Structure 1
Amino acid sequence: MVTRHELRHDFDRVAPDVYARKGLRLDAVSRAKAAVHWTKGEGVLVGRSAAALLGSAYVDADQPAAIALPRHRRTTPGITVIQAEFSRGERCEVDGYPVTTPPRTAFDLARLLPRDHAVPLIDALCRATGLHPSTALSLADGHQGIRGCARARAVLGLADPGAESPPESLTRLLLIDHGLPTPTTQIVVRYPGGEFLARLDMGWEKWRVAVEYDGAQHWTDTAQRTKDIDRHAVLAEHGWRIVRVGADLLRNRPYIIIDRVLAALTATGAHLDSVRAA
């Protein structure tokens, strides 16, 4: 039991009648749970908040929680309220908290968010839940006419559970946007005898060209750096061309990525007339 004195001095108000202990940094999951408590259990978590409860990584902790109610209710800071109801088949519970199902969550992310925000979140949601994008596409077929449905179909068609981080998702979108064939994700490379050699982020096994996104640890960790150098040397010995991508290239110089990928593919004899300049 918390006294009024303790509530006032030891807790911060998150929403009306909802408090968190002072100093606790709320993540996307705790923000979502706070929103449910604010609605006294009446709401259903949707969009990013549903994705967070379903185990999706990379949901921005600073975004407001998103929750649906069957009737209009005045919103409160830190919580976005929509008026909506869901069929029994489009909602479930996670640890006692009501959320939209993975297919419905993916559908809503795809139809309501900008593409480059939606795809990484859907990729992560699929990876966390085992959802295949085609299942969410099938759900879209049953919601023709709902706002953003056409956009949702296009976005869901770009989703790939093989992406292991948002930068990998965005790198894949960059390649597709410039007319390159859709790369396969998580390519397993083996030695001639069948022994595992490497798993590559994405690429084209037909031409033995891969694109690897290197996070900060690949550049700052000496042991990881040494491992990467050895790994890429062995892959080169087995005929693979690796295009390495980092945050600066992806954000500020994407044309270099396209040029390098195109050069690697052309060197293998690939004919790619539809590639567009970055």
Structure 2
Amino acid sequence: MQPSPIPSELGPFFAAKGALDAGVPASRLRARDLQRPFHGVRVRPPTREDRQKKDERRSDVVKEHATVTLARQYALRMTEHEFFSHLTAAVIWGLPLPPALENTSELHVSVFAPLHVPRSRGVHGHQARVESTTVRRHPKTGLRVSSPVSTWAAVAPMLEHPYDVVALADAIVRVPRAPGGFARSMPRPLGTMAELDACIRAGRRVGISALRAALPLVRLGASSRTETWTRLTLVDAGLPEPTLDFDVFDDHGMFLACVDLAYPELRIAIEYEGDHHRSDANQWAKDVDRYDALSAHGWRVIRVTKRLLFDHPQELVRRVREAIAAR
């Protein structure tokens, strides 16, 4: 016998209490077809309409991160004193994390002292201090979450490599802009250098030495974790620091490309290529056109892959060093 349908107005997931108030029998909420990610929360199986919407969804629509979906489910049972923090907050804000930390299914939820830490299956509870932690309402999801700067300070002790502490801060202070100087409405940065500095000065905290070491290395133009890693890999090898997010124009002022990292005076561009550059045919074609245009105007392009950056950084350094020497 098929279970009775759940009212569509409750959405794909809902609070059990809200379902009871809507007239759903308690016995229906105990049915096996409903998932129970947290106490008092239910997730209904997708309907035919849900599957149809998924099929009709355009390929350029960004799929919601699984952690964000899980956080929205937990939010149905959150108290007014709880907020998402640490790794969960970083994912909600879209901050770059190492893959092993980004894809964890455990939620990090905090309260301010002296309240007791939240305890629930699948939840890592924390106790925060008012003087060193700021809480915001996330503009897109509406979730209560630690601010990007507070999240940086909380996540830093969980990161194994100092480059990732810098990459997190780079993402916070990055000033989004339209390449080539074209007029376009752009979002504001998530935080400022002054706010990062104030966060460090707010008092003692775990991992403060890593924060202090990272702050002088933070730059405004890095648009990804891998760009930060590329920059720091080159600088730590003794090479000049490259310019980030650099617009290239031809001799007549025509915009050619915006490159990830550059030595403008030497006409050397360093481009990181993620998997989408290889798997997306349109992106691949655009890359070929850009590199041809740069080459035609005297630029040498050094292409960086994940394997080169993380497995063979010495080879990356060698290629850049030889390019500089040749110019």
CA distance change for structure 1 residues 144 and 180 in 2, over 3 Å: closer, same or farther?
A: farther
Matched, 1:233 2:292: yes
Which protein shows a greater Rg?
2
Matched, 1:97 2:143: yes
TM-score (norm 2): 0.70
Pick aligned residue for 2:193 from 134, 137, 140:
134
Distance in 2 of aligned mates of 1:178 and 1:112: 25
* SS of the residue 1:167 aligns to: helix
**Once the 2 structures are TM-superposed, how far is the Cα of residue 230 of structure 1 from its aligned partner?**
3.5
Work out whether residues 31 and 64 of structure 1, in 8 Å CA contact, stay in contact via their aligned partners in 2.
no
Q: Corresponding residue for 2:108?
A: 66
Q: Corresponding residue for 2:274?
A: 215
Q: Corresponding residue for 2:320?
A: 261
Alignment deviations for residues 213-257 of structure 1 (CA, whole Å, 9 cap, x no partner):
112243345554444334223212323221111122223222211
Work out whether residues 173 and 193 of structure 2, in 8 Å CA contact, stay in contact via their aligned partners in 1.
no
Q: Corresponding residue for 2:5?
A: none
Pick aligned residue for 1:86 from 125, 130, 133:
130
Q: Corresponding residue for 2:212?
A: 153
CA distance change for structure 1 residues 236 and 138 in 2, over 3 Å: closer, same or farther?
A: same
CA distance change for structure 1 residues 251 and 84 in 2, over 3 Å: closer, same or farther?
A: same
Query: Which amino acid in the other structure matches residue 44 of structure 2?
Result: R
Query: Which amino acid in the other structure matches residue 134 of structure 2?
Result: E
CA distance change for structure 1 residues 187 and 49 in 2, over 3 Å: closer, same or farther?
A: same
* SS of the residue 1:51 aligns to: helix
Query: Which amino acid in the other structure matches residue 101 of structure 1?
Result: S
**Once the 2 structures are TM-superposed, how far is the Cα of residue 149 of structure 1 from its aligned partner?**
1.4
**How many residues are matched?**
268
TM-score (norm 1): 0.81
* SS of the residue 2:298 aligns to: coil
**Once the 2 structures are TM-superposed, how far is the Cα of residue 175 of structure 1 from its aligned partner?**
1.9
Work out whether residues 102 and 129 of structure 1, in 8 Å CA contact, stay in contact via their aligned partners in 2.
no
Query: Which amino acid in the other structure matches residue 162 of structure 1?
Result: G
CA distance change for structure 1 residues 77 and 159 in 2, over 3 Å: closer, same or farther?
A: farther
Work out whether residues 167 and 225 of structure 2, in 8 Å CA contact, stay in contact via their aligned partners in 1.
yes
* SS of the residue 1:135 aligns to: helix
- Runs of 5+ in structure 1 lacking a partner? 269-278
Q: Percent identity?
A: 29
CA distance change for structure 1 residues 37 and 250 in 2, over 3 Å: closer, same or farther?
A: same
Q: Corresponding residue for 1:4?
A: 26
Q: Corresponding residue for 1:16?
A: 39
Pick aligned residue for 1:167 from 195, 207, 226:
226
**Once the 2 structures are TM-superposed, how far is the Cα of residue 101 of structure 1 from its aligned partner?**
1.9
After TM superposition, the structure 1 stretch with the greater mean CA deviation from structure 2, 175-184 or 239-248, is 175-184
* SS of the residue 1:9 aligns to: coil
Pick aligned residue for 1:75 from 115, 119, 124:
119
Query: Which amino acid in the other structure matches residue 169 of structure 1?
Result: T
* SS of the residue 2:266 aligns to: coil
Distance in 2 of aligned mates of 1:106 and 1:217: 27
After TM superposition, the structure 1 stretch with the greater mean CA deviation from structure 2, 252-261 or 131-140, is 131-140
Alignment deviations for residues 97-149 of structure 1 (CA, whole Å, 9 cap, x no partner):
32222222223233443334444444444447503551343223422432211
Query: Which amino acid in the other structure matches residue 158 of structure 1?
Result: L
Work out whether residues 110 and 118 of structure 2, in 8 Å CA contact, stay in contact via their aligned partners in 1.
no
Alignment deviations for residues 195-218 of structure 1 (CA, whole Å, 9 cap, x no partner):
111000112223222210112243
Work out whether residues 140 and 153 of structure 1, in 8 Å CA contact, stay in contact via their aligned partners in 2.
no
Distance in 2 of aligned mates of 1:117 and 1:37: 32
Matched, 1:242 2:301: yes
Superposition RMSD on alpha carbons, in Å?
Answer: 3.1
Higher relative contact order (CA 8 A, sep 6+): 1
* SS of the residue 1:201 aligns to: strand
CA distance change for structure 1 residues 26 and 254 in 2, over 3 Å: closer, same or farther?
A: closer
CA distance change for structure 1 residues 112 and 247 in 2, over 3 Å: closer, same or farther?
A: closer
Pick aligned residue for 1:107 from 136, 146, 153:
153
CA distance change for structure 1 residues 142 and 221 in 2, over 3 Å: closer, same or farther?
A: closer
Distance in 1 of aligned mates of 2:133 and 2:285: 50
- Runs of 5+ in structure 2 lacking a partner? 1-18, 51-63, 175-186
Distance in 2 of aligned mates of 1:129 and 1:49: 22
Distance in 2 of aligned mates of 1:229 and 1:150: 43
